[in-house]
Amino acid sequence: MPVFTKDDIDKIGSCLKAVSVTDMKDHHRLKIFNPQEKRGLSLEIYPETSLGRKKKGAMVVVYTTSSHLQLHNLSGFVVSEELGEVTFVGESGGRIAGLVVEREAGCSLYANVNRELISSDFSKFGVEVMLSGVALSLAEDLLEEK
């Protein structure tokens, strides 16, 4: 079963208040703009694409004026209307990576994070480590289903 359905794309676009959602041949492109801070980003969601010789999987790509980020082999995503963000996650070998896209056209990447961190007592870690644990903990239930 694909990680993303058309309904999922609509939910993601709604949460992020995308100014446009374009269905391309093999992916969906969402444009998010924050007029107050004069920043924007493009989010491309590939429900299934070639990620190697015989490997297919889901991928998200974020383009901003100063960065280009990709997250391959997605396990899933979590939409948070309350926080105004979508967290895309992938897991491999006890490590997780997450790409958080915000309604305000912000984006954060957390990579190669120990899986056990998201179930830990964050107060026992430094702020730098705590941030990744808190951000990715939204996906804990999703990862437990896998």
- Backbone phi, psi, residue 124, to 5°: -85, 0
Q: Measured between alpha carbons, how far is 79 from 138 in angstroms, rounded to an integer?
A: 9
User: CA nearest 95: which of 126, 128, 68, 73?
Assistant: 73
Q: Please report the pLDDT score of residue 95 as a whole number.
A: 87
Q: Please report the pLDDT score of residue 58 as a whole number.
A: 93
**Kind and range of the H or E run holding 139:** none
Distances (CA, A) of 63 to 24, 29, 35, 126, 145: 16, 11, 17, 30, 30
Q: Measured between alpha carbons, how far is 25 from 45 in angstroms, rounded to an integer?
A: 11
Task: Report pTM.
Answer: 0.88
Residue 129 DSSP SS3:
helix
The DSSP code sequence of 30-80 is EEEEETTTTEEEEEEEEEEEE-SSS-EEEEEEEE-SS-EEEEES--EEEEE
Task: Give me the average pLDDT of each 10-residue run along the chain (146 residues).
Answer: 86 98 96 96 95 91 96 92 94 88 95 76 71 66 58
Q: Please report the pLDDT score of residue 114 as a whole number.
A: 77
What does the pLDDT look like over 105-136, one tens digit per residue?
999 998 888 777 767 776 777 677 666 666 67
